Amino acid sequence: MTQYTDNDTSRSNRRKFLKLVGTTGVGALAGSGTVAATLDLETDTLQEALVVFETTDDVDLLADLDLAEGFLGFSQLPIGYALFTGAQLETVAGWDEVRRISPNAELEWEHDDARPDTRAKDVQEGTGLDLPYTGENAHVAVIDTGIDGAHPDLEDNLVANWHWAGDPLADEGDLWIDAGLVNTDDVGHGTHCAGSVGADGSASDGEYTGMAPDVTLTSYSANASLTVLKAVSAYDHLLELQHSGEHRIHVASNSYGAGPGDYDPYDPLNVATWYATEAGVLVTYSAGNDGPGDDTLGQRKGAPYTLSVAATHADQSVTDFSSRGAADGNHDRQTAYENVVDLFSGVPEDELGTLELNRPAVAAKGADVMSTLNPVQPLWALGSDDELWYGLLSGTSMSNPVAAGCAALVIDAYIENHGSAPDPMDVITTLEATADPDATSDLEGPTGTAEYTATNVGAGYIDALEAVKYAESGQLIDFD
């Protein structure tokens, strides 16, 4: 229990600190596999924290503190990172420009022949379309453990292999270095996810081709240990290159989380993905592996401007591990999205309704997904099916890049026929509107027993072919 002093300013700052940090900041973060992260006002021990400000210029307020190792201010995001004493955190909490204070928590990777199921194979073959689409016009960033840049299925599509290499509080040195065509993935998780998006099938005679085999790939490698700082920094770097015209990312794939919890619009990573959305990037997320209970959707997966993906078996039935939404929560994306737009436009939060979407967007295969791995990566042994360059893995970590690859096909078709990239929200609403809400209706004895409801699978099982038809015609489906 925090003990208040007789000083009114101190008492006010401490109350504001509790409001800014929330319960997850003053106790262990929820979710198995995460590292407990706390912030304490009573200690002189230095603590890692990220501070969300109103504007990027406000981050320079941190220079007024006698910070032991200085601070990192991002170039595109209104977020600063530093090591703080408890007293310094209390001071920061008193600044009017501060929106949220967050511990630098560790995030968890959510892993526990999808092309025909999603009909991405039909899109690649041009079935029922004017042209075949393979993702050639689309660019996907995979923020993950890294990538085997020399993998025969990935090397031709990989244009940037950014590896976390810097000290965030050092005076000099880049935080991200392009490692080229080398293996930056000590685990295999990111290589597997990248393959589901855009493996070209070279090492399997096309058998294990990804959803968008001609897509352009960029990797951000956090390696085995991903923290909020690394993920936010990846988005800041991505946006810096986006705004300078050095690349044009259309989709960002994120297969990680920190367990269930409520959506917080001022969480540093949620701020980062909002800024990415505003820059034309469609952000996809794994729904989380905390099912089958109700209201277990990951705490950053309720952002109404992102595409969160539930996981199914090969027969399209819902897996037990796939996180669920809340049956009595908000399932209306438009309402939550418009409220978030108003919030970031300056409308006070207490004047708005719900900001959270309490359901996944769509479902895709997430159990026993075959994708790219390198035999030197630990997950290859776990998922090996006697394939030298591939392996089977399960989790919403696997269903997410399948959906990200399908989104890339929609974007590819739209650009090919209409010359410009579509709005991320129009792609999301089209993927939802064309998803199959009754994918298991004709099955006898499906592997999973959960019903296809909005709580379990959102709009239904993703259907790349139907979505691409709308993109090809230029008639993407919006909220109306």
Q: Domain spans of the chain?
A: 8-104, 108-473
d(CA 275, CA 269): 10
pLDDT of residue 23: 47
pLDDT of residue 35: 32
Q: Is 151 exposed, middle or buried (0-12, 13-18, 19+ CB in 10 A)?
A: buried
What Rg do the C-alpha atoms of the chain give, in angstroms? 22
pLDDT of residue 2: 33
Q: Are 121 and 200 in contact (CB under 8 A)?
A: no
Q: Are 228 and 430 in contact (CB under 8 A)?
A: no
- Give whole-number Cα distances, 88 to 221, 306, 368, 399, in Å: 32, 34, 48, 42
Q: Are 80 and 3 in contact (CB under 8 A)?
A: no
CATH topology of domain 8-104: Alpha-Beta Plaits (3.30.70)
pLDDT tens by residue, the chain, 480 residues: 233 333 455 666 666 676 778 644 543 222 223 333 588 888 999 999 999 999 999 999 999 999 999 999 999 999 999 999 999 999 999 999 999 999 998 888 655 556 667 899 999 999 999 999 999 999 999 999 999 999 999 999 999 999 998 789 987 779 999 999 999 999 899 999 999 999 999 999 999 999 999 999 999 998 878 899 999 999 999 999 999 999 999 999 999 987 788 999 999 999 999 999 999 999 999 999 999 999 999 889 999 999 999 999 988 999 999 999 999 999 999 999 999 999 999 999 999 999 999 999 999 999 999 999 988 887 776 655 567 899 999 999 999 999 999 999 999 999 999 999 999 999 999 999 999 998 776 655 555 557 899 999 999 999 999 999 999 999 999 998
Domain 108-473 CATH (choose: 2.120.10.30, 1.10.287.610, 3.20.20.210, 3.40.50.200):
3.40.50.200
Q: Which residues contact 13 (CB under 8 A, 6 or more apart)?
A: 90, 91, 93, 94
